[in-house]
Amino acid sequence: MAEQAIPRMGGHCDARFEGVRAAFVDNFRERGELGAAVTVLLDGEPVVDLWGGWADAAHTRPWQQDTLVNVWSTTKGATALCAHLLVDRGLLDLDAPVASYWPEFAAAGKQNVLVRHLLSHRAGLAGLREPHTLDELYDWELTTARLAATEPWWEPGTRSGYHAITYGFLVGEVIRRITGQLPSAFLRQEVSGPLGMDFFIRFPEDETRQPAELVHPLAAAGSEQEAAFSQLEPVALAALANPLTGAAEANTPEWRAAEIPAAGGHASAQGVAALYGLFTGHERPDGRRVLSARAAERAREGQGSCRDLILGAGFAHDTEIGLGLWLSGANGSYGPNPRAFGHDGFGGSFGLADPEAGISVGYVMNHMGTHIADDPRKMALVDAVYKAGTASA
């Protein structure tokens, strides 16, 4: 890729993290960045808070410190957080059948599917078998009813298969059955509102900031795209293309207003770093502890390493999901600590938590990349954070 001019930037970076600033600048110069921000918290305090570039393709809106953008599957960390809060409060049992909270879910042989299977993408419900349109996806009652009625694609609990969109409806409906609130309302009431976090599962109706415009790389020619989809197994097609979504859909008011707790979240880099920082189990600088230390351990309990049924072709190695988040593991997706964990979003965003190092990272952007995970911009930033010598290898 041709080297690009460096756009206007803002923020601060502690001296020992200058390598993160350099990596952030290189993302614009060498890796096609349009607009982005990165925040690194160390023991809850910001040591890196950088932003730059443009919030739109036309280069008319500079990226600001608090620019919000759709973070796709980085949203899953917020939904998992809601579930772990309920576990901490004794309201949710991870080893209970899902049907004990959501009776209709027992249909089609799912009576023994456990809550932990939902959180770890092992429920066998990676996608719906019947065609499901975008308008139908925006209908919470319809989507959850169809999921309750459908049969699993594989024996639940035996292996993971990435529930790209259905994850949020499955975990979210359990949250709703317990609290009477959809995940977006529960998160805002219990976490992001009281703590002043810029992380929303649904774009708020009362939000006056204009979100950044997502820009997707040029799509492959129609015949090439069709050929790529033709090679996918039916379960992968159901997970990734029923319905098919991308930047064009996510830039619409309808998407932003919908409850999509696996992919519809909007956040700033500060918001992502703050929310994922809760998974370290440490006290915040203000003395609050949202999740218990036990919850931080629980969230990263590996549920079995395997080649993921949906995303396996995109990785050269097996991966492992904990209870809502991906483990860094031997491949170092979230740094050299194999017990660090986090979640990537479609196109490049990510959140990271490393309890041993006391680190959390949030990165958001609007020029979507083509990698399934471990976007080169992400990995450059993660490498730079750990080269600062703050984390145990």
Q: pLDDT digit string (tens) for 240-255?
A: 999 999 999 999 999 9
Q: Which helix (H) or strand (E) holds 250?
A: helix 247-250
Structural domain includes residue 101: no
Structural domain includes residue 206: no
Structural domain includes residue 326: yes
Kindly report the CATH number assigned to the domain that includes residue 273. Answer: 3.40.710.10
Give residue 223's pLDDT: 47
pLDDT at residue 192 is higher than 90: yes
Residue 186 confidence class, pLDDT cut points 50, 70, 90: very high
Structural domain includes residue 200: no
Q: pLDDT digit string (tens) for 205-259?
A: 999 999 999 998 765 444 455 555 556 789 999 999 999 999 999 999 999 999 9
Structural domain includes residue 362: yes
pLDDT at residue 87 is higher than 60: yes
- Kindly compute the dihedral angle of the four CA atoms of residues 144, 146, 149, 151, in this order, to the nearest 10 degrees: -110
Question: Any idea which of 162-171, 179-188, 296-305 has the lowest mean pLDDT?
Answer: 296-305
Residue 189 confidence class, pLDDT cut points 50, 70, 90: very high
Give residue 222's pLDDT: 47
- With beta carbons less than 8 A apart as the criterion, state whether 170 and 162 touch: no
Q: pLDDT digit string (tens) for 339-361?
A: 999 999 999 999 999 999 999 99
Give residue 228's pLDDT: 58
Give residue 21's pLDDT: 97
pLDDT at residue 391 is higher than 60: no
Give residue 221's pLDDT: 45
Q: What does the mean pLDDT of the chain come to? A: 93
Structural domain includes residue 84: no
Q: Report which of residues 6 and 53 the model is more confident about.
A: 53
pLDDT at residue 297 is higher than 50: yes
Q: Report which of residues 377 and 311 the model is more confident about.
A: 377
| Number of domains into which the chain is organized | 1
Give residue 219's pLDDT: 55
Coil vs helix vs strand at 306? strand
Structural domain includes residue 373: yes
Question: Any idea which of 7-11, 54-58, 141-145 has the lowest mean pLDDT?
Answer: 7-11
| Domain containing residue 217 | 9-67+211-241+263-387
Q: Quick one: tokens of 264?
A: 């519809």
| Spatial distance between the Cα atoms of 369 and 32, rounded to a whole number of angstroms | 9
Q: Quick one: tokens of 268?
A: 């700033």
What percentage of the chain carries pLDDT values higher than 90? 85
Active-site residue identified among 73, 160, 192, 360: 73
Cis status, amide bond into 253, omega within 30 of 0 = no
- Give the list of residues 6+ apart from residue 252 with CB closer than 8 angstroms, or none: none
Active site residue 73: yes
Question: Any idea which of 6-10, 127-131, 314-318, 375-379 has the lowest mean pLDDT?
Answer: 314-318
Give residue 331's pLDDT: 87
Give residue 334's pLDDT: 97
pLDDT at residue 129 is higher than 70: yes
Give residue 284's pLDDT: 80
pLDDT at residue 133 is higher than 90: yes
- With beta carbons less than 8 A apart as the criterion, state whether 361 and 381 touch: yes
pLDDT at residue 180 is higher than 90: yes
| Spatial distance between the Cα atoms of 213 and 191, rounded to a whole number of angstroms | 26
Query: Per DSSP, what are the bridge partners of residue 114?
Result: 97
Give residue 226's pLDDT: 55
Residue 389 confidence class, pLDDT cut points 50, 70, 90: low
